Chain A
Protein backbone atom coordinates (compact mmCIF):
# COMPACT_ATOMS: atom_id res chain seq x y z
CA UNK A 1 0.00 0.00 0.00
CA UNK A 2 1.29 3.36 -1.05
CA UNK A 3 0.17 5.22 2.01
CA UNK A 4 1.83 2.74 4.32
CA UNK A 5 5.10 2.55 2.46
CA UNK A 6 5.47 6.23 2.00
CA UNK A 7 4.56 9.05 4.27
CA UNK A 8 6.14 12.11 2.73
CA UNK A 9 6.69 14.30 5.80
CA UNK A 10 8.54 11.53 7.61
CA UNK A 11 11.93 13.20 7.26
CA UNK A 12 10.69 16.49 8.50
CA UNK A 13 9.53 15.73 11.95
CA UNK A 14 10.31 18.42 14.47
CA UNK A 15 13.20 17.49 16.63
CA UNK A 16 14.85 19.79 19.10
CA UNK A 17 18.07 17.87 19.02
CA UNK A 18 19.97 18.24 15.77
CA UNK A 19 21.83 15.01 16.44
CA UNK A 20 18.58 13.07 16.41
CA UNK A 21 18.47 13.66 12.65
CA UNK A 22 21.65 11.71 12.20
CA UNK A 23 20.94 8.80 14.50
CA UNK A 24 21.13 5.71 12.37
CA UNK A 25 19.99 2.97 14.72
CA UNK A 26 16.62 1.54 13.81
CA UNK A 27 16.36 3.30 10.47
CA UNK A 28 15.58 1.51 7.24
CA UNK A 29 16.94 2.38 3.83
CA UNK A 30 14.71 5.46 3.59
CA UNK A 31 16.12 6.62 6.93
CA UNK A 32 19.65 6.23 5.65
CA UNK A 33 18.66 8.05 2.50
CA UNK A 34 17.25 10.88 4.59
CA UNK A 35 20.40 11.19 6.69
CA UNK A 36 22.67 11.12 3.65
CA UNK A 37 20.51 13.57 1.74
CA UNK A 38 20.55 16.04 4.61
CA UNK A 39 24.26 15.60 5.26
CA UNK A 40 25.19 16.05 1.60
CA UNK A 41 22.81 19.02 1.37
CA UNK A 42 24.62 20.75 4.23
CA UNK A 43 28.02 19.92 2.72
CA UNK A 44 26.90 21.39 -0.61
CA UNK A 45 25.70 24.60 1.02
CA UNK A 46 29.11 25.05 2.65
CA UNK A 47 30.75 24.31 -0.67
CA UNK A 48 28.56 26.90 -2.39
CA UNK A 49 29.74 29.56 0.07
CA UNK A 50 33.35 28.47 -0.44
CA UNK A 51 32.80 28.65 -4.20
CA UNK A 52 31.58 32.24 -3.83
CA UNK A 53 34.68 33.05 -1.82
CA UNK A 54 37.06 31.51 -4.36
CA UNK A 55 35.32 33.25 -7.24
CA UNK A 56 35.34 36.57 -5.39
CA UNK A 57 39.04 36.63 -6.27
CA UNK A 58 37.97 37.27 -9.85
CA UNK A 59 37.01 40.79 -8.78
CA UNK A 60 40.56 41.35 -7.52
CA UNK A 61 42.05 40.79 -10.93
CA UNK A 62 43.96 38.14 -12.86
CA UNK A 63 46.81 37.74 -10.33
CA UNK A 64 44.51 37.09 -7.40
CA UNK A 65 42.40 34.58 -9.33
CA UNK A 66 45.32 32.71 -10.84
CA UNK A 67 46.98 32.61 -7.41
CA UNK A 68 44.02 31.02 -5.63
CA UNK A 69 43.62 28.52 -8.46
CA UNK A 70 47.24 27.42 -8.15
CA UNK A 71 46.86 27.26 -4.38
CA UNK A 72 44.07 24.74 -4.96
CA UNK A 73 46.26 22.40 -6.96
CA UNK A 74 47.22 20.55 -3.76
CA UNK A 75 46.36 16.83 -3.59
CA UNK A 76 44.39 17.47 -0.41
CA UNK A 77 42.10 19.83 -2.24
CA UNK A 78 41.72 17.27 -5.01
CA UNK A 79 40.75 14.69 -2.43
CA UNK A 80 38.11 17.07 -1.04
CA UNK A 81 36.89 17.63 -4.59
CA UNK A 82 36.39 13.90 -5.01
CA UNK A 83 34.28 13.99 -1.84
CA UNK A 84 32.36 16.91 -3.30
CA UNK A 85 31.62 14.91 -6.44
CA UNK A 86 30.35 12.03 -4.34
CA UNK A 87 28.11 14.39 -2.35
CA UNK A 88 26.69 16.11 -5.45
CA UNK A 89 26.01 12.82 -7.21
CA UNK A 90 24.27 11.21 -4.28
CA UNK A 91 22.27 14.33 -3.41
CA UNK A 92 21.19 14.83 -7.01
CA UNK A 93 20.23 11.23 -7.71
CA UNK A 94 18.51 10.79 -4.38
CA UNK A 95 16.80 14.14 -4.95
CA UNK A 96 15.30 12.70 -8.13
CA UNK A 97 14.16 9.69 -6.12
CA UNK A 98 12.49 11.97 -3.56
CA UNK A 99 10.72 13.83 -6.35
CA UNK A 100 9.38 10.60 -7.83
CA UNK A 101 8.15 9.62 -4.38
CA UNK A 102 6.51 13.02 -3.96
CA UNK A 103 4.70 12.34 -7.23
CA UNK A 104 3.74 8.89 -5.93
CA UNK A 105 5.81 7.26 -8.65
CA UNK A 106 7.72 4.09 -7.92
CA UNK A 107 7.03 4.32 -4.22
CA UNK A 108 7.26 0.54 -3.90
CA UNK A 109 10.70 0.64 -5.50
CA UNK A 110 11.97 3.43 -3.29
CA UNK A 111 14.44 1.19 -1.50
CA UNK A 112 15.85 -0.15 -4.76
CA UNK A 113 16.12 3.41 -6.03
CA UNK A 114 18.07 4.38 -2.91
CA UNK A 115 20.58 1.58 -3.53
CA UNK A 116 20.66 2.56 -7.18
CA UNK A 117 21.48 6.17 -6.30
CA UNK A 118 24.18 4.98 -3.90
CA UNK A 119 25.79 2.56 -6.36
CA UNK A 120 25.65 4.91 -9.34
CA UNK A 121 27.15 7.80 -7.34
CA UNK A 122 29.88 5.50 -5.99
CA UNK A 123 30.73 4.28 -9.50
CA UNK A 124 30.91 7.75 -11.00
CA UNK A 125 32.93 8.98 -8.03
CA UNK A 126 35.48 6.21 -8.59
CA UNK A 127 35.70 7.11 -12.28
CA UNK A 128 36.13 10.81 -11.43
CA UNK A 129 38.74 9.98 -8.79
CA UNK A 130 40.66 7.84 -11.27
CA UNK A 131 40.69 10.76 -13.71
CA UNK A 132 41.65 13.36 -11.10
CA UNK A 133 44.07 11.71 -8.71
Chain B
Protein backbone atom coordinates (compact mmCIF):
# COMPACT_ATOMS: atom_id res chain seq x y z
CA UNK B 1 0.00 0.00 0.00
CA UNK B 2 2.78 2.37 0.97
CA UNK B 3 4.63 1.66 -2.24
CA UNK B 4 1.48 2.18 -4.24
CA UNK B 5 0.82 5.50 -2.54
CA UNK B 6 4.34 6.72 -3.10
CA UNK B 7 4.19 5.72 -6.75
CA UNK B 8 0.89 7.54 -6.97
CA UNK B 9 2.46 10.70 -5.54
CA UNK B 10 5.44 10.47 -7.90
CA UNK B 11 3.26 10.03 -10.93
CA UNK B 12 1.16 13.06 -10.10
CA UNK B 13 4.05 15.29 -9.04
CA UNK B 14 6.05 14.51 -12.16
CA UNK B 15 2.99 15.12 -14.26
CA UNK B 16 2.77 18.57 -12.72
CA UNK B 17 6.53 19.19 -12.72
CA UNK B 18 7.03 18.64 -16.39
CA UNK B 19 4.02 20.64 -17.45
CA UNK B 20 5.42 23.63 -15.60
CA UNK B 21 8.04 25.30 -17.79
CA UNK B 22 9.89 26.90 -14.87
CA UNK B 23 10.46 23.71 -12.95
CA UNK B 24 11.20 21.72 -16.08
CA UNK B 25 13.88 24.23 -17.09
CA UNK B 26 15.28 24.26 -13.60
CA UNK B 27 15.72 20.50 -13.63
CA UNK B 28 17.09 20.20 -17.15
CA UNK B 29 19.23 23.29 -17.68
CA UNK B 30 20.52 24.32 -14.29
CA UNK B 31 22.88 21.34 -13.89
CA UNK B 32 24.64 22.15 -17.15
CA UNK B 33 24.89 25.78 -16.18
CA UNK B 34 26.55 24.84 -12.89
CA UNK B 35 29.06 22.49 -14.49
CA UNK B 36 29.81 24.86 -17.35
CA UNK B 37 30.37 27.79 -15.06
CA UNK B 38 32.79 26.04 -12.74
CA UNK B 39 34.78 24.57 -15.63
CA UNK B 40 35.06 28.06 -17.01
CA UNK B 41 36.39 29.39 -13.69
CA UNK B 42 38.90 26.58 -13.42
CA UNK B 43 40.04 27.06 -16.97
CA UNK B 44 40.57 30.76 -16.30
CA UNK B 45 42.43 29.99 -13.08
CA UNK B 46 44.61 27.45 -14.83
CA UNK B 47 45.40 29.69 -17.79
CA UNK B 48 45.96 32.96 -16.04
CA UNK B 49 46.31 32.37 -12.33
CA UNK B 50 48.27 29.19 -11.85
CA UNK B 51 51.54 30.89 -10.99
CA UNK B 52 50.03 33.07 -8.35
CA UNK B 53 48.15 30.15 -6.87
CA UNK B 54 51.23 27.95 -6.84
CA UNK B 55 53.06 30.61 -4.94
CA UNK B 56 50.43 30.86 -2.26
CA UNK B 57 50.86 28.80 0.87
CA UNK B 58 47.14 27.98 1.00
CA UNK B 59 47.31 25.90 -2.12
CA UNK B 60 50.64 24.40 -1.15
CA UNK B 61 49.10 22.55 1.76
CA UNK B 62 46.22 21.39 -0.41
CA UNK B 63 48.63 20.19 -3.09
CA UNK B 64 50.67 18.25 -0.56
CA UNK B 65 47.56 16.48 0.64
CA UNK B 66 46.51 15.82 -2.95
CA UNK B 67 49.85 14.19 -3.69
CA UNK B 68 49.55 12.04 -0.61
CA UNK B 69 46.19 10.69 -1.80
CA UNK B 70 47.03 10.55 -5.49
CA UNK B 71 50.77 9.88 -5.73
CA UNK B 72 50.57 9.47 -9.52
CA UNK B 73 50.00 13.21 -9.79
CA UNK B 74 53.57 13.86 -8.62
CA UNK B 75 54.82 13.12 -12.12
CA UNK B 76 52.84 16.02 -13.56
CA UNK B 77 54.09 19.57 -14.00
CA UNK B 78 53.13 21.86 -11.12
CA UNK B 79 50.45 23.75 -13.04
CA UNK B 80 48.72 20.51 -13.99
CA UNK B 81 48.89 19.36 -10.41
CA UNK B 82 46.96 22.48 -9.58
CA UNK B 83 44.44 21.66 -12.27
CA UNK B 84 43.97 18.20 -10.80
CA UNK B 85 43.39 19.83 -7.45
CA UNK B 86 40.71 22.08 -8.90
CA UNK B 87 39.02 19.37 -10.93
CA UNK B 88 38.90 17.18 -7.85
CA UNK B 89 36.56 19.72 -6.30
CA UNK B 90 33.94 18.66 -8.78
CA UNK B 91 32.88 15.81 -6.56
CA UNK B 92 31.52 18.48 -4.23
CA UNK B 93 30.57 21.04 -6.84
CA UNK B 94 28.25 18.46 -8.33
CA UNK B 95 26.48 18.33 -4.98
CA UNK B 96 25.20 21.84 -5.61
CA UNK B 97 22.95 20.40 -8.32
CA UNK B 98 20.71 18.25 -6.11
CA UNK B 99 20.64 21.02 -3.54
CA UNK B 100 19.53 23.68 -5.97
CA UNK B 101 16.96 21.48 -7.65
CA UNK B 102 15.76 20.46 -4.24
CA UNK B 103 15.22 23.99 -3.08
CA UNK B 104 13.59 24.94 -6.34
CA UNK B 105 11.05 22.16 -6.39
CA UNK B 106 10.45 20.92 -2.89
CA UNK B 107 9.97 24.38 -1.47
CA UNK B 108 7.06 24.93 -3.78
CA UNK B 109 5.49 21.53 -3.54
CA UNK B 110 3.79 21.87 -0.21
CA UNK B 111 3.25 25.60 -0.08
CA UNK B 112 1.44 25.38 -3.41
CA UNK B 113 -0.92 22.73 -2.17
CA UNK B 114 -1.45 24.64 1.02
CA UNK B 115 -2.40 27.78 -0.87
CA UNK B 116 -4.78 26.06 -3.28
CA UNK B 117 -6.43 24.02 -0.53
CA UNK B 118 -5.72 20.62 -2.07
CA UNK B 119 -3.60 19.72 0.94
CA UNK B 120 -6.58 19.75 3.25
CA UNK B 121 -8.46 17.34 1.00
CA UNK B 122 -5.33 15.21 0.76
CA UNK B 123 -4.97 15.05 4.51
CA UNK B 124 -8.52 13.74 4.76
CA UNK B 125 -7.41 10.63 2.84
CA UNK B 126 -5.70 7.70 4.57
CA UNK B 127 -2.27 8.81 3.35
CA UNK B 128 0.27 8.81 6.17
CA UNK B 129 2.29 11.90 6.86
CA UNK B 130 5.60 10.21 6.22
CA UNK B 131 4.38 8.68 2.99
CA UNK B 132 3.39 12.07 1.76
CA UNK B 133 6.71 13.58 2.81
CA UNK B 134 8.77 10.80 1.35
CA UNK B 135 6.77 10.91 -1.87
CA UNK B 136 7.31 14.63 -2.21
CA UNK B 137 10.99 14.22 -1.39
CA UNK B 138 11.56 11.50 -3.97
CA UNK B 139 9.72 13.58 -6.55
CA UNK B 140 12.64 15.95 -6.58
CA UNK B 141 15.43 13.70 -5.38
CA UNK B 142 15.18 11.14 -8.16
CA UNK B 143 15.49 13.59 -11.08
CA UNK B 144 18.08 15.54 -9.13
CA UNK B 145 20.29 12.49 -8.70
CA UNK B 146 19.88 11.46 -12.32
CA UNK B 147 20.73 14.96 -13.47
CA UNK B 148 23.81 14.96 -11.24
CA UNK B 149 25.04 11.78 -12.88
CA UNK B 150 24.35 13.16 -16.31
CA UNK B 151 26.23 16.31 -15.33
CA UNK B 152 29.18 14.20 -14.18
CA UNK B 153 29.25 12.66 -17.65
CA UNK B 154 29.01 16.12 -19.15
CA UNK B 155 31.91 17.23 -16.99
CA UNK B 156 34.10 14.36 -18.20
CA UNK B 157 33.14 15.11 -21.77
CA UNK B 158 34.05 18.78 -21.45
CA UNK B 159 37.43 18.15 -19.84
CA UNK B 160 38.34 15.74 -22.59
CA UNK B 161 37.25 18.31 -25.15
CA UNK B 162 39.52 20.81 -23.42
CA UNK B 163 42.40 18.38 -23.91
CA UNK B 164 42.63 17.40 -20.26
CA UNK B 165 41.50 13.85 -20.90
CA UNK B 166 44.78 12.48 -19.57
CA UNK B 167 43.91 13.90 -16.15
CA UNK B 168 40.53 12.22 -15.86
CA UNK B 169 42.16 9.13 -14.37
CA UNK B 170 43.34 11.33 -11.51
CA UNK B 171 39.89 12.82 -11.00
CA UNK B 172 37.93 9.60 -11.10
CA UNK B 173 39.16 8.50 -7.71
CA UNK B 174 37.26 6.05 -5.48
CA UNK B 175 36.24 9.06 -3.47
CA UNK B 176 34.68 10.57 -6.61
CA UNK B 177 32.54 7.51 -7.14
CA UNK B 178 31.55 7.38 -3.50
CA UNK B 179 30.58 10.97 -3.70
CA UNK B 180 28.56 10.43 -6.83
CA UNK B 181 26.74 7.28 -5.85
CA UNK B 182 26.36 7.65 -2.10
CA UNK B 183 26.82 11.24 -1.12
CA UNK B 184 24.77 12.69 -3.99
CA UNK B 185 21.59 10.72 -3.22
CA UNK B 186 22.02 11.40 0.50
CA UNK B 187 22.44 15.13 -0.06
CA UNK B 188 19.58 15.18 -2.57
CA UNK B 189 17.27 13.60 -0.05
CA UNK B 190 18.46 15.89 2.71
CA UNK B 191 17.91 19.06 0.74
CA UNK B 192 14.50 17.95 -0.42
CA UNK B 193 13.55 17.03 3.07
CA UNK B 194 14.62 20.43 4.30
CA UNK B 195 12.77 22.04 1.41
CA UNK B 196 9.66 20.11 2.36
CA UNK B 197 10.06 20.96 6.02
CA UNK B 198 10.62 24.55 5.04
CA UNK B 199 7.57 24.69 2.86
CA UNK B 200 5.35 23.00 5.39
CA UNK B 201 6.29 25.57 7.97
CA UNK B 202 6.42 28.64 5.79
CA UNK B 203 3.54 30.87 4.80
CA UNK B 204 4.77 31.22 1.22
CA UNK B 205 7.35 29.69 -1.03
CA UNK B 206 9.88 32.47 -0.46
CA UNK B 207 9.98 31.68 3.22
CA UNK B 208 10.32 28.03 2.39
CA UNK B 209 13.28 28.67 0.13
CA UNK B 210 15.01 30.68 2.80
CA UNK B 211 14.74 27.85 5.24
CA UNK B 212 16.00 25.37 2.67
CA UNK B 213 18.89 27.58 1.57
CA UNK B 214 20.61 26.61 4.79
CA UNK B 215 21.90 23.42 3.15
CA UNK B 216 23.81 25.27 0.46
CA UNK B 217 26.27 26.75 2.90
CA UNK B 218 27.73 23.54 4.30
CA UNK B 219 28.37 22.35 0.77
CA UNK B 220 30.17 25.53 -0.21
CA UNK B 221 32.07 25.18 3.03
CA UNK B 222 33.03 21.63 2.07
CA UNK B 223 34.62 22.88 -1.14
CA UNK B 224 36.38 25.65 0.74
CA UNK B 225 37.73 23.25 3.33
CA UNK B 226 39.16 20.90 0.76
CA UNK B 227 40.55 23.40 -1.73
CA UNK B 228 42.43 25.21 1.00
CA UNK B 229 43.84 21.93 2.28
CA UNK B 230 42.35 22.08 5.74
CA UNK B 231 40.93 18.60 5.33
CA UNK B 232 41.46 16.43 2.30
CA UNK B 233 38.60 14.05 1.65
CA UNK B 234 40.21 10.69 1.26
CA UNK B 235 38.07 7.72 0.34
CA UNK B 236 37.51 6.88 3.96
CA UNK B 237 36.56 10.41 4.91
CA UNK B 238 34.14 10.69 2.01
CA UNK B 239 32.58 7.44 3.09
CA UNK B 240 32.21 8.68 6.64
CA UNK B 241 30.74 11.94 5.39
CA UNK B 242 28.21 10.06 3.27
CA UNK B 243 27.22 7.86 6.19
CA UNK B 244 26.81 10.88 8.41
CA UNK B 245 24.53 12.52 5.87
CA UNK B 246 22.50 9.35 5.50
CA UNK B 247 22.05 9.37 9.27
CA UNK B 248 21.01 13.01 9.10
CA UNK B 249 18.51 12.06 6.37
CA UNK B 250 16.84 9.64 8.71
CA UNK B 251 16.77 12.19 11.49
CA UNK B 252 15.39 14.79 9.07
CA UNK B 253 12.56 12.52 7.97
CA UNK B 254 11.60 11.96 11.58
CA UNK B 255 11.86 15.66 12.32
CA UNK B 256 9.84 16.44 9.22
CA UNK B 257 7.07 14.08 10.26
CA UNK B 258 7.07 15.63 13.68
CA UNK B 259 7.17 19.22 12.48
CA UNK B 260 4.71 18.58 9.73
CA UNK B 261 1.88 18.55 12.19
CA UNK B 262 -1.15 18.01 10.08
CA UNK B 263 -2.91 21.06 11.24
CA UNK B 264 -0.11 23.52 10.78
CA UNK B 265 -0.05 22.71 7.12
CA UNK B 266 -3.66 21.97 6.50
CA UNK B 267 -4.93 25.33 7.48
CA UNK B 268 -4.14 28.39 5.54
CA UNK B 269 -4.69 31.05 8.14
CA UNK B 270 -4.76 34.59 6.89
State whether these chains interact. no
